[in-house]
């Protein structure tokens, strides 16, 4: 299921470190949709192409060549048990040559100077959990 919302290139899908990174991303969704309890309603308020939005803790530089565009999805989550609403912003990316499909993140293997590294895009700053 996570690969429906996190893009992984076919050639990277069997890499154990990629699989682990995709599972790690699930924590981002748990924070947004399961806190303070399970969201019972999610309303999308806007989808905006990422340009110079302020106060969004994402690193969008270093976009991989297979990522086409980067958007920000602004949502309101309702939690009936708590009678509360929470606003959240998540990235959304489109991938070159993948029509009518968008993802929140991508995890991929990048080769640099003869070694490989698993990367996530958009990237969260190191100060975020």
Cα–Cα dist 104/92, whole Å = 4
Contact present, 86 and 79 (Cβ < 8 Å): yes
How high is the mean pLDDT of the chain?
A: 82
At 76 the pLDDT is: 87
pLDDT one-digit tens code per residue, 63-93: 899 999 999 888 888 877 667 777 888 888 9
pTM: 0.79
Transcribe 73-107 into DSSP letters: EEEEEEETTTTEEEEEEEEEEEETT-TT-EESEEE
For the stretch 3-47, pLDDT in tens is 788 999 999 999 999 999 998 887 777 666 666 677 788 889 988
The sign of the torsion formed by the CA atoms of 107, 111, 116, 117 equals: negative
């Amino acid at each position: 299921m996570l690969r429906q919302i996190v893009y992984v290139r076919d050639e990277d899908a069997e890499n154990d470190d990629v699989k682990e990174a995709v599972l790690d991303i699930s924590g981002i969704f748990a924070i947004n949709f399961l806190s303070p309890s399970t969201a019972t309603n999610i309303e999308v308020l806007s989808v905006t192409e990422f340009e110079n939005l302020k106060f969004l803790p994402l690193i969008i530089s270093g976009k991989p060549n297979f990522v086409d565009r980067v958007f920000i999805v602004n949502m309101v989550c309702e939690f009936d048990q708590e009678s509360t609403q929470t606003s959240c912003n998540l990235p959304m990316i489109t991938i070159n040559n993948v029509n009518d499909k968008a993802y929140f993140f991508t995890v991929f293997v990048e080769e640099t100077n003869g070694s490989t590294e698993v990367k996530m895009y958009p990237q969260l700053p190191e100060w975020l959990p």
